[in-house]
Amino acid sequence: MNSLLLTGGRVIDPANRLNASTDVLILNGKIAAVGKDAAQKAPREIEKSDATGLIICPGLIDLHVHLREPGQTQKETIATGTAAAARGGFTSLVCMPNTAPAIDNAGTVALIHERAARDGIVNVFVAGAISKNLAGEELASIGSLKRAGVVAITDDGHCVQNNELMRRALEYAKMFGLPVMDHCQDYSLVTSGVMHEGYWSTALGLQGWAAAGEEMIVARNILLAELTGARVHCQHLSAAGSVGLIREAKKRGVPVSGEACPHHFTLTDAAVAGSEKFWAQDGKLIYSNPQSAIRNPQLPEWPAYDTNFKMNPPLRSARDREAILEGLADGTIEILCSDHAPHCDFEKQVEFDYAPFGITGLETELALSLMQLYHAKRLGLSDLITKYTVAPARLLNLAKGTLSIGADADVTVFDPDREWTFEREATASKSFNNPFYGWPLKGRAVATIVGGKKIWAENAEAVAA
């Protein structure tokens, strides 16, 4: 059940600088051999899988996922969330602490580990809270969280506004070897904003959310990282100014990093107005809007004020989208992730002002990343895979993201050229708040292997207990 020979695929393992057509042998849940001699070392009765024409890479890691368990299982569970991850090609994920109760103590961490071992089909790592109950008023017990097994701390969904408290959090986190991941949002600037502050917020009559509300906290985090020497990771970047700040800080050697989500480098705030349309052409996304001369009758349609385009931080301008893409291409932004944030239909089926922020993303992020980065010729496959493997593993000190001999046999097999359409009825998530239903996509996971077990395959659904 946990031994397998993958043959004929193009193996891309950025950790070992490998990019070649060869074989991968998995024995007893570990990588046993990578190379043309792998087949010779395989037992005679081993299961074989032909990966000709496919990419074989270390199992993809998503370090920003909301599993909603405990306390919000009407939206998602560890079972359904990890099933969605497997379909998306992800073998490891990091769950955020904004659950009910929040993950601010060792007991809740233990509960999640227990349920993940029982119900999860991919590796589930846990991020603990920075502050008690995510309230931003008193530090959580960071040492206890570390001993309980968290891989990072964050108040994601909230942002610590007290700079002194954030400084102390960084100092403690550095002592315990934990990175601090921060949801960058200055409440005094954002106020009650629900979408990007600009032309479309004015046209739609919706409260604007200034990009400066993100950039202010990114700047704060850079200053505190420089002061304390602690590692700060800025989550779901959306603004051009944020990218510029991190680029300049990295040149000075500040220990700061950032991540980007496909919705922020695929869509803009015009989508909220139902005004931005796209279609795929040779794997690239071609955009049009009411001012464009480009037209295509096969464009997917969506109405204005569609709450599936409401997320935190919000979709921003075309300039911001381009800056995120440039930051990914030049290495300023090191990590790709989904910010998978499931909500019930009834929660989203209200006026835009009252709907919760967030969309699901585990099943579409690989395709959108391939289209916007690889097929658009902004990044090579090896560089793109690095952002889903080596980079998150390095940030979180995980023994993942590699096909080294003896490593856990977490492997993703995908076809970068597979054309498909994401349909609502095909999702494994418990929630359906995703704006990409009906979109023609290019690039898809074909098989997901965790610990040597094929937990999902394109033609076999979930194949492991």
Q: What is the CATH number of the domain that holds 94?
A: 3.20.20.140
How many distinct structural domains can be found in the chain?
A: 1
Q: Is 339 a catalytic residue?
A: yes
Q: 34 falls in which pLDDT band (50, 70, 90)?
A: very high
Q: Is the pLDDT at 295 greater than 60, yes or no? A: no
Domain that holds residue 143: 59-399+416-440
Which residue in the block uniquely carries the two structure tokens 């492991």?
464
Locus of tokens 């206890």: 144
Q: Does 38 fall in a domain? A: no
The percent of residues above 70 in pLDDT, for the chain, comes to 92
Classify residue 407: in a domain, yes or no.
no
Evaluate if residue 77 carries a pLDDT over 90.
Answer: yes
Report if residue 457 sits inside a domain: no
Q: How confident is the model at residue 301 (pLDDT cuts 50, 70, 90)?
A: low
Is it true that the peptide bond before 101 is cis, omega within 30 degrees of 0? yes
> Do the beta carbons of residue 109 and residue 94 sit within 8 Å?
no
Residue 46 domain-assigned (yes or no)? no
352: in domain: yes
Distance CA 395, CA 459 (A): 34
Q: Which two tokens stand for residue 143?
A: 């040492």
pLDDT mean across residues, the chain: 93
Q: Is residue 29 part of a domain?
A: no
pLDDT tens digits along 121-177:
999 999 999 999 999 999 999 999 999 999 999 999 999 999 999 999 999 999 999
Considering the domain boundaries, does residue 459 fall inside one?
no
Say if residue 291's pLDDT is above 70.
Answer: no
Backbone φ, ψ for residue 386 (5° rounding): -55, -40
Selecting among 339, 408, 410, 415, the annotated active-site residue is: 339
- Residue 253 CA to residue 91 CA, distance in Å, equals 32
> Within a domain: residue 447?
no
Residues 6+ apart with CB under 8 A from 211: 196, 197, 238, 239, 240, 241, 242, 316, 320
Looking at residue 426, what is its pLDDT? 93
Q: How far apart are CA 131 and CA 154, in angstroms?
A: 8
pLDDT digits (tens, 9 = 90+) for 372-410: 999 999 999 999 999 999 999 999 999 999 999 999 999
